């Protein structure tokens, strides 16, 4: 397997570092629009895993260009293109991989569009719909596009499939629940507003109408931040208020798993919700460029430039990849499942993976949220390379056997695994 990683930001950086601890592939090409970021990853690998460095290369790419993605994949003979950038680039990378005859994997799917007249009840274009519409082409070509293979979606979908296959005879609800007790401070120790993941993606997810699935009703939408509930998270996190958020699992899980209801709720917190509401109120969540005055030139004259308000917000906030040293706490991703157990009795469980920021910083110089997101694609790549997972078409993580994934993820490194235990709480 020859892997082309598109994007050397927080998640792409972490993925390359994880791959440097494995040996199932032939080579890895780390590419980015900012070539210095790709070289930075390779410098870390040279320092930490010098024996692996010859298997890694760095290259430049414009992820918005189908032709550049395709040409780069062909140049390096990539057999799989790994999309590790924001979902606004999904379509160009997806098409570029297909044009190059390579398989494809991403951690976030093609973007949705709200219903033009009834956005808080009726879905418009759903997440991933653009990709699933092309599934027949990928299947006919014998190529696999494994979509939504991050932590959420990703590990969450694997948990859902495991619960369906091994824990329940009938499922009432599969509810993805994400929470954390992460705190970011400045140099003086004061807590600051600094999202631990791409603010561009966070705005997209949280301000779009959330999607809910019910077997008798199908997919429908609600208002942002609807149906608040307090969910008790393990790993020392405790109770966190969670609200409905648009997410891929609600689209993916019902395609392969029989459940009466599927939801996604995120523990955002009152302050975060307030910031997002303010951005929306001021129009700073918009992606359509606006014209603003530029900085003065050498003569003091000001011109005009075009800039997306959302890109501007992302530019003034700290890069999530750089937050690790100022961050403390634990993040938890999991799936709460209710229904009838294999013994015919009511059952309620929470399957989860929790990660402490101190651990990911110590071992990978990466903050925990981006490292946790990169873990799942690394495991999935290994399962594909070894033939444990296989397929053709556009398929989500729940379309594959969950057991080998969870076994490989949890097995100690000394036994060839990733050393990342997962938990199962009976509730």
Query: Looking at residue 20, what is its pLDDT?
Result: 98
Buried b or exposed e, range 346-371, using 16+ CB within 10 angstroms? ebebbbbbbbebeebbeebbbbbbbb
Looking at the structure, tell me whether residues 105 and 38 fall in a common domain: yes
Cβ-contact 103, 393 below 8 angstroms: no
| pTM score | 0.91
Residues 227 and 267 in one domain: yes
CATH code (residue 192) = 3.30.360.10
Query: CB burial class (10 A; 0-12, 13-18, 19+) of residue 82?
Result: buried
For 97-114, what is the mean pLDDT?
97
Q: Give pLDDT, residue 120.
A: 95
Residue 202 lies in a domain: yes
**CA 330, CA 335: separation in Å to the nearest integer?**
17
Residue 125 lies in a domain: yes
Q: Which CATH number covers residue 69?
A: 3.40.50.720
Beta bridge partners of 104: 81, 145
In a domain, 134, yes or no: yes
User: Same domain for 38 and 108?
Assistant: yes
235 backbone φψ class: left, alpha, beta (φ>0; ψ -120 to 50):
left
319 and 195 share one domain: yes
* Torsion angle of C-alpha atoms 320, 379, 34, 356, degrees rounded to 10: 20
Q: 326 and 188 share a domain?
A: yes
**Residues 340 and 193 reside in one and the same domain:** yes
Confidence at residue 295, expressed as pLDDT on a 0 to 100 scale: 79
Q: Are residues 254 and 332 in the same domain?
A: yes
pLDDT of amino acid 197:
63
Q: Is the pLDDT of residue 304 over 90?
A: no
Max Cα distance, the chain (Å): 79
Spatial contact of 180 and 330, defined as CB atoms under 8 Å apart: yes
Domain that residue 72 falls in: 2-150+366-420
Residue 120 has, within 13 A of its CA and on its CB side, a CA count of 7
| Strand residue runs (E) in 185-237 | 211-214, 218-221, 229-233
Same domain, 349 and 227: yes
In a domain, 381, yes or no: yes
Q: What is the average per-residue pLDDT within 155-184?
A: 96
Number of structural domains found in the chain:
2
pLDDT band (50, 70, 90) for residue 196: low
Q: For residue 55, is it within any domain?
A: yes
User: How far is the C-alpha of 355 from the C-alpha of 369, rounded, in Å?
Assistant: 8
End-of-domain residue from the set 360, 375, 394: 360
Q: 34 and 63 in one domain? A: yes
The pLDDT tens digits of the residues spanning 362-419 come to 999 999 999 999 999 999 999 999 999 999 999 999 999 999 999 999 999 999 999 9
Q: Say yes or no: 61 and 129 in one domain.
A: yes
Position 324 confidence tier, pLDDT thresholds 50, 70, 90: low
Q: How far apart are alpha carbons 156 and 150 in whole angstroms?
A: 9
Same domain, 113 and 161: no
> Residue 38, Cβ neighbours under 10 Å: how many?
26
Residue 321: its pLDDT value, please? 65
Residues 137 and 163 in one domain: no
Q: Is 300 a member of any domain?
A: no
301 domain residue, yes or no: no
Structural domain includes residue 335: yes
């Amino acid at each position: 397997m020859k892997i082309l990683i598109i994007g050397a930001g927080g998640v792409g950086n972490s993925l390359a570092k994880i791959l440097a601890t494995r040996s199932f592939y032939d080579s890895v090409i780390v590419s980015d629009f900012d070539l210095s970021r790709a070289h930075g990853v390779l410098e870390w690998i040279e320092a930490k895993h010098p024996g692996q460095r010859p298997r890694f290369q760095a290259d430049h790419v414009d992820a918005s260009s189908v032709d550049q993605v395709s040409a780069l994949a062909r140049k390096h003979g990539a057999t799989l293109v790994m999309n590790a950038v924001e979902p606004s680039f999904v379509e160009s990378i997806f098409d570029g991989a297909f044009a190059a005859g390579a398989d494809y994997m991403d951690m976030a799917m093609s973007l949705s569009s709200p219903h033009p007249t009834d956005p808080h009840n009726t879905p418009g274009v759903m997440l991933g719909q653009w990709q699933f519409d092309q599934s027949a082409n990928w299947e006919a070509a014998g190529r696999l596009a494994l979509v939504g293979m991050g932590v959420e979606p990703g590990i969450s979908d694997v948990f859902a499939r495991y619960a369906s296959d091994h824990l329940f005879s009938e499922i009432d609800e599969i509810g993805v629940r994400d929470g954390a007790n992460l705190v970011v401070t400045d140099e003086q120790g004061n807590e600051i507003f600094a999202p631990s993941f791409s603010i561009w993606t966070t705005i997209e997810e949280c301000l779009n109408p959330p999607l809910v699935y019910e077997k008798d009703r199908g997919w429908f939408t609600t208002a942002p931040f609807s149906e608040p509930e307090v969910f008790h998270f393990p790993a020392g996190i405790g109770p966190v208020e969670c609200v409905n958020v648009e997410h891929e699992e609600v689209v993916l899980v019902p395609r392969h798993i029989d459940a009466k209801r599927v939801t996604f709720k995120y523990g955002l917190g009152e302050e975060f919700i307030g910031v997002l509401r303010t951005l929306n109120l001021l129009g700073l969540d918009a992606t359509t460029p606006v014209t603003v005055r530029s900085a003065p030139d050498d003569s003091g004259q000001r011109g005009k430039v075009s800039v997306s308000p959302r890109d501007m917000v992302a530019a003034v906030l700290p890069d999530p990849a750089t937050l690790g040293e100022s961050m403390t706490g634990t993040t938890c991703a999991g799936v709460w499942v209710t229904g009838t157990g294999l013994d015919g009795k009511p059952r309620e469980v929470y399957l989860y993976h929790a990660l402490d920021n101190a651990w990911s910083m110590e071992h990978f110089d990466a903050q925990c949220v981006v490292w946790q997101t990169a873990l799942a694609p690394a495991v999935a790549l290994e399962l594909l390379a070894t033939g444990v997972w296989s397929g053709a078409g556009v398929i989500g993580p729940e379309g594959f056997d969950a057991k080998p994934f969870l076994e490989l993820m949890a097995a100690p490194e000394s036994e060839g695994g990733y050393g990342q235990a997962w938990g199962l709480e009976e509730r």
